[in-house]
Structures are given as C-alpha cells and as structure tokens.
Amino acid sequence: MTRTVEDEHAYDVVVIGAGPVGENVVDRVRAGGLTAAIVEGELIGGECSYWACMPSKALLRPAIARSDARKVAGLRESVYGPLDAMEVLAHRDEVVGHWKDDGQVDWLDSIGVRAYRGHGRLHGPRRVEVAGPEGERHVLTARHAVAVCTGTRPLLPELPGLPAAHPWTSREATSSDRVPERLVVVGGGVVGVEMATAWQALGSKVTLLVRGGGLLPRMEPFLGEHVAAALTTRGVDVRTGVAVSAVVRDGGTGPVTVVLEGGDHVEGDEVLFATGRKPRTEDIGLETVGLTPGSWLDVDDTLRVTGSDWLYAVGDVNHRALMTHQGKYQARIAGAAIAARARGDASLDTGRWGAHAATADHAAVTQVVFSDPEAAAVGLTLAEAERAGHRVRAVDLDMRSVAGAGLYAQGYRGHARMVVDLDREVVLGAAFVGPGIGELLHSATIAVTGEVPIARLWHAVPAYPTLSEAWLRLLEAYRG
C-alpha cells in the first residue's frame, strides 16, 4: 500500500549516501558535537561493503594465499589442488553479511544518528527531500551543512549490443554465485585486474582485453608489467592494444561474443565491463542549487563544493581519489571542518597538512591492488613528479636482492621504486610489486607524508630478514 507521510526535521548536518564515506562524515560531525541525519537508498555501508572492496578481497584472499603457499618448500605439495570455489563464494557471502545491513544500522543507532531509507535529493539550499520506499516523504533541513556522499556507479561504453547482452559490472563480478566457464574482462584498470585474478583462480578461463599498452595505467609501468606476466603464466589470455567494437548475445542469455575492431572476436559465458566509474549525481537535485546533474562535484581541500558555503561533496563523488580509505580520510577532514565552522572556530586550519585540509589527496594517495603479485603505491610516480616540475631521481630495486624476499617465497619476483626530490632530499613517491608487498606500503606513506629527510630515513633500520629491507637497499642505492 502506498502512503504519504510528510514530516519535516532539522539537523545540524544532513548526509546523502551511507557508504563508508557518509558514515564517517556523520561519525565525525557527531564527535564535533553536532546533530546529524543520513539518507540511504540501498544498503547502509555502500558499494564498498557489499559489491566492491569487501567481497572482492574475500574472493582474492584464497587465491593469493594459495599462490604464496605454492612458493614455500615443504608446503607447496599440500596446496596443489584447485580452490573449493563454492566454499570461497560462501565465505564471500558471510563477509558481506548476506547483503543485509543490520549491523551498520545498529552502529548508526549507537552514535545517535537517524537513518532515513530512501532516495535523497537536494531541494534548494540546505534542504534535502527523501522519497521513501513506500511513497513516504521526509523533508530534512540542515542548519550548517549538507554532505553529498553518493559515490559512483559503473561507466559502460556505448557499444552496439551491449545493454542487451546483460554484461557483468563490478556488482555481478563481486556477487556472482557461480563460476562462469569462460569470462571475458574488458578494462585493464584495478577492477579488471583484480577480478581477472580472482575468477581465473576460481576456475574460469579468463581473457583480459586492454585497449592501452599495459595494465594498471595510473601506476608506475613496471607494476602492470609484473602483474601481466604473472596473469599470463597462470593462463589468463592478456591482450593489450585491442578495442571492443560490439557485443553479441542472442536473446540476452547463453554465450556472449565480444567483437574487436579489425574483426577478431572472443567468446565467453559472461563478459565483465570494468571500464571506469561515473558519479551518482544525475538525480540528486543539483539543478536546484545551480549545479549540473551528472557531474563530478569540484571541492576545495576542506571538501566544500566550489562556490558554496554549506554544500560538501566527500568520497568518490568528488573524483579526487576513488578509494575507500581516501574517502574516509576526506570524511574525517570534512567532518572536522564542518564542526569547526559551525562553532565559528578561528582555529580552522586549511594550510598544507593542516587539520582541515585533505592535503594527502594531492601528495600521498595510497593504493594496494590485490593482484597476484600485489601492487602498491603512494604519492607521485616518476612521470607525475617530472610533470609537476620537481627535480627528481628514481631509484629502482630488484626485490630479489632483499634477503627476506627469498625467504618469503622461493623464486620471488618483485620490484621497488622510490622517487626522490633532489632539491629537498625527501621521498615524493614509492611503488612496489611482489608477493606480500601490500603491507610494506604504510612505511612509504609515512616517509612521503612526513616528508622525512633521506638523511633521517637512513636511521630507520628495517628488521632482518623482512621485505622492509627494500628500504635499506633503496637508500644504499640512492647514497651510492
């Protein structure tokens, strides 16, 4: 039965979108002494919890653990067999709470934040309307700020036959309850690489179609080269420099044919399009506050939308760094800035590395790609540092020269790079690829964020024999 309940409530802060970022915004503004409400149209916890980070990592963990174990003498033989795909999928279902958000609802209750179920839209300055699932309507007004944290959805290219072929997007690739015999993956970015790794390990025959020259194009090129070589060794058909021109699936079910420019084609039982994201801003009332529906939202370093004194855009939706940890960092900064402005606080500190400025978005974005081998990076690549006008030197290291690498895995293959600002003698960026390398990243993040002088890093002694001795070798190479 459809009913209309119209009520109006005022809060200090109203947040649209209860993904990891929206949740952290309300947490921080509550900690700053403000009242807050949050609006969610699907599941509280957002894309990350149910169709992105968490399920993808649950699928990848057994693949990576098995691969590492197969490189250890005395253990290799015990892990020779295939993964139990059904067990892995069942564990993935546990990790995502069977796509139920009760736990997150309890948490919001516990911090005193009211959650409104439904689609949120701006309706003029400081006003949000919520259209609930049963036709009810709530009007929320914000005394201090509205934060748009609506995230992204998959961006599909306009190709003949694509909608009718019912392609997988990241949602199906992370929630499928069966393993397709043949999976075609289009896109060599992070989603394409991680999902090709997972489904190949779970038993699919994977073809990875990449239009550029290599994988993971936003990172140092050697990361993608190592990952591509390893995927190929494991049986993935990695094709670079190819463009998809059409997709054919008669009747929308059964085998799917991916047609390439030049006439070649690839057959699969499913096709995943991992071709990027677009902002979820097409239907959130942006036009009522002078902004363009469907656009990414430009913000300053306090995450406030350009030209506004009350509207914030935090997380994926502002296109600064599309990762959960970066979005949560922004949420901490935005929450503190909103609370400080609400107090009329003269201590608002928006300078570089200030308490109310998301400086790391420019200088120290971190990412771990859970491929096999893992790829990880922080800060600037060599090319980015040069483009930015820094006088830099890149120091490279074959990870085989690190004693801990040989112990971690026989036949260890990996590589590390540190990009040094020669004028200030600080690290601007670092990148690593190799088994177990993801956990090494935070040491690099501290070096980059702290702008620790190389002369002081020389005194940061990595324990022997760990992978962290990569730092020792990099510094030795730099100092000559």
Ligand X SMILES: NC(=O)c1ccc[n+]([C@@H]2O[C@H](COP(=O)([O-])OP(=O)(O)OC[C@H]3O[C@@H](n4cnc5c(N)ncnc54)[C@H](O)[C@@H]3O)[C@@H](O)[C@H]2O)c1
Ligand Y SMILES: Cc1cc2nc3c(=O)[nH]c(=O)nc-3n(C[C@H](O)[C@H](O)[C@H](O)COP(=O)(O)OP(=O)(O)OC[C@H]3O[C@@H](n4cnc5c(N)ncnc54)[C@H](O)[C@@H]3O)c2cc1C
Binding residues: 57, 120, 187-194, 276, 316
Alpha carbon of 371 to those of 157, 203, 380: distances in Å?
A: 25, 16, 21
Q: Cβ contacts of residue 279 below 8 Å, gap of 6+?
A: 150, 151, 152, 294, 295, 296, 297, 316, 317, 319
Task: Round the CA-based radius of gyration of the chain to a whole number and report it.
Answer: 24
Alpha carbon of 305 to those of 111, 140, 291: distances in Å?
A: 27, 20, 10
CB 281, CB 148: distance < 8 Å: yes
Using the rule CB under 6 A, is 327 a contact of ligand Y? Answer: yes
Smaller CB separation from ligand X, 104 or 174: 174
Using the rule CB under 6 A, is 125 a contact of ligand X? Answer: no
Among 113, 369, 385, 427, binds ligand X (CB under 6 A): 369
In 33-169, beta strands by DSSP E: 36-40, 114-117, 119-122, 127-131, 137-148, 152-154
Return the residue nearest ligand X (CB atom): 189
Alpha carbon of 183 to those of 47, 106, 199, 262: distances in Å?
A: 23, 38, 8, 21
CB 308, CB 292: distance < 8 Å: no
Site mask, ligand X, residues 161-190, x = CB under 6 A?
Answer: -------------------------xxxxx
Using the rule CB under 6 A, is 284 a contact of ligand Y? Answer: yes
Measured CA to CA, the distance from residue 409 to residue 79 in angstroms comes to 14
Q: How far is the CB of 388 from ligand Y (least distance, A)?
A: 24
Retrieve residue 353's tokens: 């590395």
CB 316, CB 324: distance < 8 Å: no
Using the rule CB under 6 A, is 224 a contact of ligand X? Answer: no
Among 189, 315, 429, 462, binds ligand Y (CB under 6 A): 315
Site mask, ligand X, residues 233-272, x = CB under 6 A?
Answer: -----------x----------------------------
3-state secondary structure of 450: coil
Using the rule CB under 6 A, is 437 a contact of ligand X? Answer: no
Site mask, ligand X, residues 128-157, x = CB under 6 A?
Answer: -----------------------------x
Among 205, 319, 325, 400, binds ligand Y (CB under 6 A): 325
Using the rule CB under 6 A, is 322 a contact of ligand Y? Answer: yes
Measured CA to CA, the distance from residue 424 to residue 392 in angstroms comes to 10
Smaller CB separation from ligand X, 120 or 192: 192
Using the rule CB under 6 A, is 275 a contact of ligand X? Answer: yes
Q: How far is the CB of 277 from ligand X (least distance, A)?
A: 5
Measured CA to CA, the distance from residue 261 to residue 376 in angstroms comes to 33
Window of 6-14, 75-83, 227-235, 366-374 that interacts with ligand X by CB under 6 A: 366-374
Using CB distances below 5 to 8 A depending on partner kind, what does residue 357 bind out of ligand Y, ligand X, none?
A: none
Using the rule CB under 6 A, is 191 a contact of ligand X? Answer: yes
At which residue do the structure tokens 């085998």 appear?
A: 255
Strands 237-239 and 244-248: unpaired
Q: How far is the CB of 335 from ligand X (least distance, A)?
A: 22
**3-state SS, one letter per residue, for 151-189:** CEEECCCCCCCCHHHCCECHHHHHHCCCCCCEEEEECCC
Using CB distances below 5 to 8 A depending on partner kind, what does residue 244 bind out of ligand Y, ligand X, none?
A: ligand X
Alpha carbon of 347 to those of 307, 336, 343, 440: distances in Å?
A: 22, 11, 10, 35
Binding residues for FAD, by number, are 57, 120, 316
Smaller CB separation from ligand Y, 297 or 340: 297
Site mask, ligand Y, residues 125-154, x = CB under 6 A?
Answer: ------------------------xxxx--
Using CB distances below 5 to 8 A depending on partner kind, what does residue 157 bind out of ligand X, ligand Y, none?
A: ligand X
Measured CA to CA, the distance from residue 387 to residue 195 in angstroms comes to 32
Count of residues that bind ligand Y according to CB under 6 A: 36
Q: For residues 393-432, which are near ligand Y according to CB under 6 A?
A: none
- Footprint on this chain of ligand Y (rule: CB under 6 A): 16-22, 39-42, 46-48, 52-53, 56-57, 119-120, 149-152, 170, 174, 191, 280, 284, 315-316, 322-325, 327
- Footprint on this chain of ligand X (rule: CB under 6 A): 157, 186-192, 194, 211-212, 217, 244, 274-277, 322-323, 367-370
